[in-house]
Amino acid sequence: MRRRTFVAVTAIGASGTIAAQGQKLGVWKTLGGLREEDGAAPVEGAHWFSAESAGDGMAFEFPAGTLAKSKCITTDLLLDGKDLAVFQIVLREGENGRSFNFRFGVLAQCSLRMRLDLSLVDQNKWMADREGAFLKPTCGGDRVDLALVDRMTFRVLRKGPRPVRWCMTDLKAVPAMPPKLTEVVLPKGALLDELGQNAQREWPGKTRSVAEMKSRTLAQAENASKLEWPAGFSKWGGWKLKKLGEGTGWFRVHNDSGRWWLADPDGYAFWSTGLDCVRVDCDARVDGLESALKWIPELPEFADAINNGGRARPGAKSVNYLAANMIRAFGQDGWREKWSRVALGEMKRLRFNTVGNWSEWEFAAKAQFPYVRPMSFRGARSGMVYRDFPDVFHEGFEADAADYASQLKTTANDPAFIGYFLMNEPTWGFSSELPAAGMLYNIDACSTREELARWLRRKYDGNDALTKAWTQPATFEKVALGRWRGVLSKEALDDLREFSVLMVERYFKTLSKACKEVDPHHLNLGMRWAGVPPEWSVRGMKSFDVYSLNCYEEKLPRAQAEKINSMLKMPVMVGEWHFGALDAGLPASGIGHLKNQADRARAYRVYLEDAAADPYCVGAHWFTLYDQSAMGRFDGENYNIGFLDICQRAYDEMGKAAIASHERMYDVASGKTPPFANAPEYLPKLFL
């Protein structure tokens, strides 16, 4: 295939469009099996491309410094087909130098403007804002110096089983941020129907009318009060056949000859099988995409289904079609209370015993259904030093921690409350940089940098000793003040890793102490690390009662759970996991990808029962109760990960699997019964 000029440095025209002229950056070379196609494209000035495999794409080389005066790399793009595709741009300093990566998903059959803000290369931000069909733009890899970047790749990172076909205009590096796309191209019409379902796809079980949805929902409401846990469950969902001493009135951890359990308030063994997002949770982000909707709920009847972003996301607008459907079924007044009875009834039908994170836990508390609750630290006095890592040595940090802990007053005396997650997947945990290193690069001065300098002074006798140890020019003054320039040596990073452990330890020890002062009875469930945590981070997390992690593998790695237990002397809980498929009208599967609903069910059983058999694990919470919107939530996720869809239809295969596993999980956990092991075929992952 011929090589084409495809990147240019350009100006933004007065009309708000991206001008075609400009300094060329060079020609691109084909990566993998990328093909360019002829034919008119629905996006003006765009060219068609197709890719058979992940990794197919384009590679560019240009003089170092070409991007130094640019603010953004941009293109207008439209994805053909039915499924999500994820693309990645990599900027690199030389052939073997540091590389920054930027990935984003694309909603099919809707045009978008991709905008890579080049200020993101400083790695102080993990995610940019979603804009229309431009979904969940996130950063990774290394920080890079744009003066040294001399090459770039654009390729397909993740794809479904079919080839990826898309059209795009020339990639451009521009000196100012281009305007957001305000008018989208919709080659096949609306994306969502009046119920919030995918309007462009057919699948078994698709709801055909508002009347069908209402009839189903009202029947569930009528049946909800009749649903109970099995006779072998305690009133809290614990195991009546195993008592772990006298009840204390609260949930607690218990180690029984090397096997970790939770104990319920009455003292029965408890293994927490939970559902996250037990809430009316099918928001569709619609700002800029209003023309893609067949129906938009109107005020005042559907006020509860419309959300404007407010200060957190100015200009953002979401429509919650699940809420609209509940209002249609139950009426404008009292619908949420009626929904809650249906939701908790469904949980009992499925034998779940825990309302998990991100839920409307107040309904669980009222019903005395075991629940957890999320917390989130803001740091109004102390501020942040790197991404969302606070200035933990700031004089106001302890007062911030006390304010943070005060929210636990509302549940401090509730026996149904299992415990709290201190936070969820902090963005500093997604970085390849240590918090101490990121702090040096991204903030001029702070109390934690001053403490780092004092710590180094205690370790090294003067600046010459520090320079020798770090094998690069360094002074205590440079550590304490002013942004670091250049690459940190391996030896410097060794010290910064040790100090990062101290930062993490102070962070969580202070928060944990403040929480226990407000609520001494309930469990500190940790901070829900994303994936498998690095050892240095675990070393700073000794103040929890349970170590939680969100693990989207085929199973929870037992070796990892054992290692955490050996380091921290505490059990592990899975805060999130799921599997999805592409046979239910959603553009993406979810982080775990399977062929169909039957395989989702098998994967559920394999994961849940293997976790129950793990002596270091005390629970696993599935993410989520409902599928996400086919349009995508606030950041763009649009996964088939629910036990129920947006029209309140239950996935029968998943339900049967959950019932089977939950009814035998205590026998599996005690070693009486081997875990289910009939695993399905796990497909390449397709998620944002």
pLDDT tens column, 401-434: 999 999 999 999 999 999 999 999 999 999 999 9
- pLDDT above 90: percentage of residues in the chain: 94
Check pLDDT > 60 for residue 601: yes
Q: Is the dihedral of CA 484, 490, 491, 495 positive or negative?
A: positive
The 10s digit of each residue's pLDDT in 9-22 is 544 433 344 444 33
Q: What is the pLDDT of residues 210-227, one digit of tens each?
A: 999 999 999 999 999 999
Percent of the chain whose predicted confidence (pLDDT) is above 70: 96
Question: Mean pLDDT of all residues in the chain?
Answer: 95
Task: Say if CB 7 and CB 170 are below 8 A apart.
Answer: yes
Whether residue 655 is predicted with pLDDT greater than 80 in this model: the reply is yes
Q: Stretch 169-190: mean pLDDT, rounded?
A: 96
pLDDT recorded at residue 8: 54
Beta bridge partners of 120: none
Among 26, 129, 42, 125, residue whose Cα is nearest residue 79: 42
Distances (CA, A) of 475 to 455, 456, 471, 680: 13, 10, 12, 57
Q: CB atoms < 10 A from the CB of 183, how many?
A: 7
User: What's residue 3's pLDDT?
Assistant: 46
**What SS3 class is residue 627?**
coil
User: Cα separation of 672 and 666, whole Å?
Assistant: 9
Q: What's the gap between Cα 459 and its chain centre?
A: 39
* Rounded (to 5) percent helix, strand, coil in the chain: 30, 25, 50
Rounded CA separation 585/311 (Å): 33
Distance from C-alpha of 45 to C-alpha of 638, rounded to nearest angstrom: 29
User: Topology of domain 5-174, per CATH?
Assistant: Jelly Rolls (2.60.120)
Q: At what angle do helices 210-224 and 335-349 cross, to 10 degrees?
A: 70
- Average of per-residue pLDDT across 526-554: 95
Distance, in Å, from the CA atom of 460 to the CA atom of 466, rounded to the nearest integer, reads 6
Q: Give pLDDT, residue 532.
A: 85
SS3 (DSSP) at 384: strand
Nearest to 173 by CA among 414, 378, 10, 356: 10
* Phi, psi (deg, nearest 5) at residue 100: -105, 135
Identify the band that residue 25 occupies on the pLDDT scale cut at 50, 70 and 90.
Answer: low
Nearest to 44 by CA among 80, 78, 13, 16: 78
Residue 530: other Cβ atoms inside 10 A: 17
* Beta-ladder partners of 545: none
Tokens matching residue 81? 């087909």
Q: Which residue has the higher pLDDT, 581 or 19?
A: 581
Q: SS in 3 state form for 118-132?
A: HHHHHCCCCECCCEC
Comparing CA positions, the residue from 221, 347, 364 lying closest to residue 625 is: 347
Q: What residues does each domain of the chain span?
A: 5-174, 438-500
Residue 276: Cβ-neighbour burial (10 angstroms; 0-12, 13-18, 19+): buried
Band (357; pLDDT cuts 50, 70, 90): very high
C-beta atoms surrounding 40 within 10 Å: 7
Report which secondary-structure segment, H or E, holds 669: helix 652-669
Place of tokens 């903030």: 443
What is the rounded average pLDDT of the residues 52-63? 97
pLDDT of residue 17: 46
pLDDT tens sequence across 483-495: 999 999 999 999 9
In this predicted structure, what is the pLDDT of residue 313?
A: 80
Task: Kindly tell me if the per-residue pLDDT of 27 is higher than 90.
Answer: no
Q: Would you place residue 63 in the very low, low, confident or very high pLDDT band (cuts 50, 70, 90)?
A: very high
Residue range 112-136: average pLDDT? Answer: 97
Query: Mean pLDDT: which of 23-32, 309-318, 346-355 is highest?
Result: 346-355
Of the candidates 136, 151, 168, 160, the residue with the CA atom closest to the CA atom of residue 67: 151
Q: 204: closest CA among 551, 598, 561?
A: 598
Residue 24, pLDDT > 70, answer no
> Cα–Cα distance between 341 and 326 in angstroms, integer?
12
As given in the structure block, the two tokens for residue 463 are 């600046």
What confidence score (pLDDT) does residue 314 get? 83
C-alpha distance from residue 465 to each of 454, 455, 461, 484 (Å):
14, 14, 6, 19
